[in-house]
Structure 1
């Protein structure tokens, strides 16, 4: 089965979906509302499930070539004491690949390079779709329109298409936490590949990149919409007394490089990831908190699963039914787990609760940390039968 697809959103999930659809013989147009592809964003970790999805899409090796494996690190307290250490080598033995850290911009470039330039329509916005025809979907674009056999709504946590398809759903909810992050301007001397540090209602973490630079992020409990006049100065005040290398990471950052976003999630799960010939994907379907590092990985799983379903099922409706059946339970389960992880991690403020958590982490055997990662990372991708 082949056809014409319109993917709304040129982020990680949308680009991955386009790659998968083209692999199985579909014509694809990716519609991205940004007028300039500035590759904004800091960095992410990709777990085994995300890398396996990228392998299924044919771009796994290209991603690994610009990523840095995460073998060392773990979770600490603000004074530097270790709560739990990460055994990246054990994860690699169990899963065949370590977790890797990569700048978002580099991941975007790899995904775009797998698509012909004419696939990407930049500076065009899709706010609604016409589903009146039973076998086609019309996508209005600035007075014109695209007709498609399938529309993939990968338009993010604030998805307009999700709102159109499920008008009674309450939409994204504020998690209670806000995140500030940046990539350092130059390399920083780091002893570990990845760290998280938990304080009272706050977390600071870093991801080391292959070129020696690093991404850092700070997650803090905060009312929505609160913005300091000088974000970097606020981070130095809040975290400057925490253990090394946190002060050095902040010192290596330009003030204009700091990004600040409130964290929203779909706390109320969607009743379906599909409607007619439209499939929701990534944050549009299951926006989650970042506490497990699974947001992008789940979007990549979506992309590989959608392509496999369309390649093997006889009709688009049958394929989308299978996609919903396979993806909704897993991704919504991961979202619930991420929410719980945040409540027991960064969001804790009561001193007794923090002490109990820290003691439990220190006493837990190292295999418990490995098992926690395996619980979500050990996912087998579907095989994509390539178009002839």
Structure 2
């Protein structure tokens, strides 16, 4: 089959690998002018690393493996500790934090150059009749199947299911990839700290970098706010991590949810679900 994948992120590129292995003809439409170079890191658990290996994508030299994920309260009281070694023992793959740009680069390098069309901005998808992705310049790119891998504001999703758009749920995630805390960055322990101000995480991510994030209520994480003050009081190494977020290296992502209705006849009353 001819398959169009809209979106050249991690999911879209991984799908392209699998489709090519199965003998399909694939085109990835990516709106950016080249592989994404921004973003923080992603956690690839053992099953994810095994799946990537099955696609011929080896990530064992990317990022940093961590063997323990430790959760404490803001005061440092232990809440939970997860030993990740059994996952490695059972699957042969460890749990790693990998810079998003590095993973996208590895996935891109493994695909034939002609598979990805950069600068292809999709405006809509036609699904009533022969499938086609319509670009902003008016070109209609036809295929047997169109896959939307273009994020939670997906153009493909909007074309197929229609409104409503994704709605914010009231929480923001601030995250970044920064060269801080060299001792922590060289270790194999991930940290999560939970308190009244929100949840904070820190993972070693390779090359002396740490992946850090804050999950807080929308608008709370701003210099001078009470939440900012509370986060500074979290147990180490959180204070250093918090100060690093104001160096311009962090990005904010608002959590959102979709309300979906089925549009296909014979399915009964519209089913509403959150995804």
- Name the TM-score class by shorter chain: 0.7 to 0.9
Structure 1 residue runs of 5 or longer lacking an equivalent are 276-331, 336-388
Structure 2 residue runs of 5 or longer lacking an equivalent are 265-272
2:50–2:91 Cα contact (<8 Å) kept: no
1:7–1:31 Cα contact (<8 Å) kept: yes
Pairing of 1:281-296 with structure 2 (within 5 A): none
Query: What displacement does 1:15 show?
Result: 0.7
Q: Choose which of 51, 64, 89 in structure 2 pairs with 1:93.
A: 89
Change (3 A) 1:126 1:146: same
Q: Choose which of 118, 123, 144 in structure 2 pairs with 1:122.
A: 118
RCO higher in structure (CA 8 A, sep ≥6): 1
Structure with greater strand percent: 2
Structure 2: distance between partners of 1:85 and 1:229: 30
Query: Structure 1 length normalisation: TM-score?
Result: 0.61
Query: What displacement does 1:194 show?
Result: 1.0
The residue that corresponds to 1:35 in the other structure is 33
The residue that corresponds to 2:234 in the other structure is 242
Q: Choose which of 9, 15, 22 in structure 2 pairs with 1:11.
A: 9
Post-superposition CA distance 1:95-128 (Å, at most 9, x none): 4433211111111111111112222212221121
Q: Give RMSD over aligned pairs.
A: 2.8
Post-superposition CA distance 1:244-284 (Å, at most 9, x none): 11123344556221101111133x45649xx8xxxxxxxxx
The residue that corresponds to 1:298 in the other structure is none
Query: What displacement does 1:207 show?
Result: 1.3
Structure with greater helix percent: 1
Change (3 A) 1:228 1:208: closer
The residue that corresponds to 1:165 in the other structure is 160
The residue that corresponds to 1:176 in the other structure is 170
For the residue of structure 1 that corresponds to 2:240, the secondary structure is helix
Query: What displacement does 1:72 show?
Result: 2.1
Structure 1: distance between partners of 2:87 and 2:56: 23
The number of residue pairs the alignment matches comes to: 264
Q: Choose which of 257, 266, 273 in structure 2 pairs with 1:265.
A: 257
Query: Structure 2 length normalisation: TM-score?
Result: 0.84
The residue that corresponds to 1:108 in the other structure is 104
